[in-house]
A and B are shown apart, each in its own frame.
Chain A
Amino acid sequence: MEETKQKRGQATYRTLPVILRLMKNMKREDPAQIVRIVCYTVVAGLYPFLAVFLPKLAIGILEAGGADVERRLIAAMAVYFAAAAVLGYAGKRLMYILEARNMRMRLFYLGQMGKKLMQMDYRYVEDASFWEENDRAMNACNNNAFGMEGMYNRLYRIPANLVTICGMLMLAGGLSPWILLALIAHVLVMMWASRQNHKYRYERKEQQAKAERRIRYYYDTTHDFTFGKDIRIYNFRDRILLNYEREIKSLNALIKKLAKHEYLIGLAGIGTLLVTTSLMYGILIMQTLSGMPVSSFAMYVSLISSLMAAMLTLGDDITFLQNEGQYVGDAFRLMDESLQEEGKEEITLDGTPEIVFEHVDFRYPGSDTYIYKDLNFTIRKGERLAIVGVNGAGKSTLVKLMTGLFEPTAGNIYINGIDIDRFRKQDLYRLYSAVFQDVNVLAFSIRENVTGGVRADADTADMAGSAADADDTRVMEVLDSVGLGEKVRGFEKGLDQMMLKIIDENGTDFSGGERQKLSIARGLYKDAPMVIMDEPTAALDALAEAEIYENFSDIVRGKTAVYISHRLASTKFCDKIALFDRDGLREYGSHEELMEKKGEYYHMFTVQGKYYQKEGEAV
């Protein structure tokens, strides 16, 4: 944890540069938006003045009286209406177009952030603190009201508001400066209160996140139907509900505290509001009593309320930008940061790899327990290696290290003599076809599930018709060779059949064995120089298991292969066996050698095979 924090640095992005960057991106991605903002500034900046002048205009005409007062009143109101209708309508239209476009701008960031998350080094994926720290930053691209879109929606209206405020301040020039001073003080106090409130909450955000996470746990546990059986059989229901309620209450206590703080801070604003309104009415009333026309009184009252509203909005927008800028700044930092530590060389291997572990130490980031200490071990070129061992011996970790998902804490790993550090991650990933115990079928078409959206014989996604056909033939070939061809041909849409029901209600779902076959087809299609199988048969029946074993020989022909399993039968089709225990590599050799040795492997094999022996053959 500490290391990752240090590596990722904690540079803070200030509000102004964040705003400039937002605007620069907007100018580049959607320049028309800038023009719209200028138009909006004029239209929406002027509109409020009409409402301010209206009472003065009308009452002024009435106060003045005269013969054609009726005609003048009607004419004035007609002019007012024409101006207000045009400005009001145009303002609303522009506003909604602006906001629609701002929503689109968010997609631009969403794409960047998404790629970043899927390409960053895998160790961050397993680092809970990384997700916790960056939760709000990631959500900055994924929310209408906050984050980037929220900031854009405030930014566009600030210039118009400034126009309004400047104009109104000029109009209010004739007014007692005390009123204006009180007004400004009020707005500043409100901004201060809002900022204080934000800070107070920001400081407690982890506490709140923790309380929310705990509620979330009970929410998830209850909403996840797969917990249903155990909850019923072991009668966990009441306990869970009780704890759920307890956690809700404890979050509520925190929120009450936050709200109380906000309320108390807000009392300062009530005080300044009292001063401001008292001054306003007091001074205006006195002035009217000493001769100012009532029409001016009405105008000033409406002027000051409009000014106050405009200034409060501005203050609110500014604090919003400051507060939200923090999260958007975090998002920008995340996007800018290098979350991929990798070599710079473009390396293409000749033939199938040989992997050498040399004095490798490894512990997971944030953990003190070493999985390996000084591991030395080689997977030879073209060899089929079975890795066996007790639970917790770090068999799967080995896969994470050689695929570059994690880096060794110390020591080196060489692939065909080249230090793994020198590889670019994408080149490294390209080396492996991996099949895991947990098969993740995605809600994409069967074709996409097999190809991963990547065409093996073309780098671009769009291919000309014939190339696409040729590729489909290959997809069918691999499906045939794992025994899924029949099933896929049975679908009306063939390879275009969607998987899972979550997206497409006509989607299909496979049984456990079929899913495993699909994932093997994925590995076959990729045709990488090295094959890794990590417990692919744990949930399968004996016949399906045997089928997978048969497939294995097909996939690995001419390749280096690693097969991890608790089922020692898998050693039958492997050349070498590496047995790991909690202290690392314990035994290494061929099945015969290890059986001869009568060590741990022999023990395991006989223990597992004990009850498979025919009578009289028992060991």
Chain B
Amino acid sequence: MQVRDYLLRRLALLPFIMLGVSVIVFTLTRFTGSPVGIYATPNMTAEEISALEARYLLDQPIPLQYAAWIGGLFRGDLGWSGVSVAPVTDVIGLKFAATFELALAAGFIAVFAGIALGTLAGVRRNRLPDHGARLFSIFGASTPTFWFGLLLLVPFYLWLDWFPLGRSTPEIFSSIAHPTGMYTLDAVLALNAGAFLDAVRHLVLPAVVLAFGAMAIIVRMMRSSMVEAMSEEYVDAARAKGLPNKVVIRRHARRNALLPTTTVIGLSFGFLLQGAVAVELIFRWPGLGQWVTSAVLSGDQATIMAYVLITALIFMTVNLAVDIAYAYLDRRVVLGG
């Protein structure tokens, strides 16, 4: 099947899957209690609470409430975000941009460092670089991000003052326009080196912390695939025909070892995009993770439902991208077969 046909088929399925997700999300969220709780205070009388329920149609049967919600969704109305004191649609783009920028930076670090370290470990199997890389990845996978973030903040923020908390310096933030909501990109578009540097300074620490966990998985996956690839006969054949070792590793072994790693990268990027709750909280990063944490704690159902929908969309997109990447990396893969 052609890539284009496959893509079209998958895209055509997307709305149906999303519809299914929306039904499940809506029903499950309602099970956790009435969303009126976000406005209710313990001192309210039953009449006052009924008045609130009537205001938000919560006195209607669940299917009708769902219809109202889904109807709003098609008009671009995802409801009122209690935690943000604004319509969900006004906020979700900003939150997503913040998380997307962070995830992209973290993903970049994780993928490049992970593949490089994993390759090194796989090639130098059972030697010092291998042990080093494995130790590093075990450390990364088992370190709580919360603790690791604080550990980095004390020297790099408190003592050296290299990397600040938050997402931008307020004066610098307001000096340029923010068409994309991704501050590094906005600074590039504004051709403002100072703003770019400021955005990067704020981005480095949370991105490193966030990358750390994902990198550990990539290193391990890459290492084992590399070890397997290096023992394949085609590698011996390549060596036998006199190719330099570098070329054998890069063109032959690594290309094949990348295949299983691609799946892992795709999935971990999906997780990064969800917004790493702990990282966003510690670094005062106003992204999806921080947003949904507040929403869950306060029972802000409109926000929670919007978050789940966007996460579902992210994972479907990422999976699709991984499938397509497979086809390019390995011509034997037949999409939709």
Q: Are A and B bound to each other?
A: no
